[in-house]
A = this chain, B = another copy of it.
């Protein structure tokens, strides 16, 4: 199986069977302690899992529009370049005054097979995006366009979102608890070890349900 196919399969496994808490624990165990986004980035539709490979874009606040500004040029290029399982990660540096994402970009991304969108800015057309079923995780909603307010200036460069460093190719994984960035170098190892942790937690859950004390269970398994 090609490495691309293997990656694609891992992404499916992660999306369908894992959850962010166990992946965050695994990353902690591997020595990666700063991979969880600060609370405040939430899914438009909590039932949609966000799982795919980051395509990082950096926005910049602007305060005008004119013929030379070409506010959408790089945004259009980034979205037109999306591939299966890609997740545009639109870094707004915490600026909630703009919505770099909306229905039409979701339509195009969905057409290209992208796996969702992550931004620390806001999003608009939220009702239509929910109806479309496209996974979008964002800092809130806002009817305001980027025109006059912000422009994507660089993409496929390193970024930082909600306190976490992210590069194109990292795994973005979000569910109802939050969003985790898995560095590209440890995607396989992280997913593999996460499945082991799930097994251990199942044992613990069973023992709790039969009435064992936490102090005894933790003494046996060192998992909580």
Contact = CB atoms under 8 A, between A and B. Distances in A.
A50 to B, nearest CB: 13
Contact of A127 (B72, B126, B143, B175): B175
A208 B108 contact: yes
Interface stretch (A7-15, A23-31, A183-191): A23-31
Given A62-B58, A62-B154, A95-B93, A102 B21 contact: yes
A21 B144 CA distance: 6
Contacts of A125: 19, 21, 177
Nearest to A93: B61
Interface of A: 19-21, 23-25, 28, 33, 36, 38-40, 58, 60-64, 72, 76-77, 79-80, 91, 93, 95-97, 99, 102-105, 107-108, 111, 122, 124-127, 139-145, 147-148, 153-154, 157-160, 165, 175-178, 180, 201, 204-205, 208-209, 211, 213-215, 218, 224
A126 B176 CA distance: 7
Main secondary structure of the interface of A (DSSP, over half): mixed
B140 A108 contact: no
Contacts of A76: 214-215, 218, 224
A178 B99 CA distance: 11
A36 B142 contact: yes
Nearest to A76: B214
Shortest beta-carbon contacts, A-B, top 8? A60-B60, A20-B143, A24-B143, A39-B140, A64-B158, A21-B124, A21-B143, A76-B214
B63 A60 contact: no
A160 to B, nearest CB: 5
B213 A80 contact: yes
A143 B214 contact: no
A24 B145 contact: yes
B142 A177 contact: yes
A25 B24 CA distance: 33
Contact of A142 (B39, B107, B143, B211): B39
Contact of A143 (B60, B177, B209): B177
